[in-house]
């Protein structure tokens, strides 16, 4: 599995977010997209996921031409959860569309979240940190070949950050992983780095 970005450009209003980006992301490797806040890291990640189209250039998934959503797990602070659902309902709903990694059932996932007492609580009553944990579990525990993470420890405390690192160790092997971040603890495991500032001019 490869994501091949060929001469991609992206503009927001009249300003170029990035230009002339050529890069091949390969399965089994981990990448960090780094840069200052507002530099365009999230925009690049969404362009690679084909959630946003480049103004110029192409993004291709080698060997796949349709329904690439089945290949991708995506987690970000701005991604939405259905807040009227309970935790159990969110898990049931999500895994109608994605296969579970290692056949983990709801009980396993709730234990991984350490949220047994909240399994029947609606997500609108969850803290921001609890919601972020749910987003991360949905992404890491979906059996997809591509894992895309944008500021994965946003809203997490120190314990939550350590928990995130455990997820990385357990569930990122043999996947194509891309992390957008300016916090080194979020991407310290990544072997390759892309500086978004290198593609501004």
Return the CATH number at 34. 3.40.50.300
Q: Sorting pLDDT into bands at 50, 70 and 90, what band is 65?
A: low
Q: How far apart are CA 164 and CA 39, in angstroms?
A: 24
Return mean pLDDT, the chain.
95
CB under 8 Å to 174, separation ≥6 — which residues?
27, 28
Structural domain span for residue 37: 2-199
| pLDDT tens profile 93-123 | 999 999 999 999 999 999 999 999 999 999 9
Q: How many domains does the chain contain in total?
A: 1
| pLDDT at residue 157 tops 80 | yes
Average pLDDT value for residue range 150-164: 97
pLDDT value, residue 188: 97
- Residue (of 181, 81, 79, 180) closest to 124 by Cα position: 81
Q: How far apart are CA 167 and CA 140, in angstroms?
A: 7
């Amino acid at each position: 599995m490869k994501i091949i970005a060929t001469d991609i450009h992206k503009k927001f209003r009249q300003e170029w977010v990035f230009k002339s980006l050529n890069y091949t992301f390969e399965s089994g490797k981990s990448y960090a997209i780094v840069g200052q806040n507002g530099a365009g890291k999230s925009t690049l990640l969404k362009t690679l996921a084909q959630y946003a189209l480049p103004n110029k250039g192409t993004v291709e998934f080698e060997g796949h031409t349709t329904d690439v959503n089945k290949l991708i797990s995506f987690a970000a602070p701005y991604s939405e959860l259905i807040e009227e659902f309970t935790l159990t309902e969110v898990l049931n709903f999500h895994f109608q569309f994605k296969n579970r990694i290692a056949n983990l059932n709801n009980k396993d996932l709730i234990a991984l979240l350490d949220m047994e007492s909240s399994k029947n609580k609606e997500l609108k009553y969850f803290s921001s940190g609890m919601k972020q944990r749910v987003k991360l579990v949905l992404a890491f525990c979906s059996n997809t070949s591509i894992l895309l993470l944008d500021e994965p420890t946003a809203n997490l405390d120190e314990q939550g950050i350590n928990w995130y690192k455990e997820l990385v160790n357990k569930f990122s092997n043999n996947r194509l992983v891309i992390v957008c971040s300016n916090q080194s603890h979020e991407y310290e495991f990544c072997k390759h780095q892309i500086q978004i500032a290198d593609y501004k001019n």
